[in-house]
Amino acid sequence: MIVARLAALKVSYDTTPEFKQVVRFLLAGGFAAFVNWALRIGLTVFMPFWLAVLLAYFLGMSIGFTLYKHFVFSRAAKPESVKRQILIFLGVNMFSATVVLGLSVGLSASFQTVLPLFMAQALAHGLAIGIGALTNYFGHKLLTFRANST
């Protein structure tokens, strides 16, 4: 049964460019998100939670740009300038950072009523990163790395 599911997944992956892109985004974004999450844990030792969330987000974002540009959206239209592409990337990520920060702080406060502080912050931040990934994918697909029209 597992072999059949893996075979079906492989066939789907081999035939659907959109599916390939989503899988690559999940892998690249998952790695960048893990770096983000792990850095936030270390930074929380030295700074307030909200500041650690923001700093870790932007460090993970720099990894994300490189991976998305070369691994996920490699068939994107060539931008008029890399500077313009980076500015759009930053705009999309500023929106996502706001989402991640708001959810992290809000969920952490809610979770602290039933969980220890460390667990509440880790869970809240992890969930917020996952939701922020959705806004990132669509923002980068439609704006930052939009496909060639030809």
User: pLDDT of 74-120, one tens digit each?
Assistant: 777 676 677 888 889 889 988 988 998 999 999 999 999 999 999 99
State the pLDDT confidence band at 11, using cuts at 50, 70 and 90.
Answer: low
Q: Break the chain into its structural domains and give their ranges.
A: 17-144
Best CA proximity match to 132, nearest among 36, 50, 19, 17: 36
pTM: 0.68
Best CA proximity match to 96, nearest among 56, 124, 57, 142: 57
Amino acid, single-letter form, for residue 28: A
Q: Which residue has the higher pLDDT, 14 or 54?
A: 54
Share of the chain above pLDDT 70, in %: 85
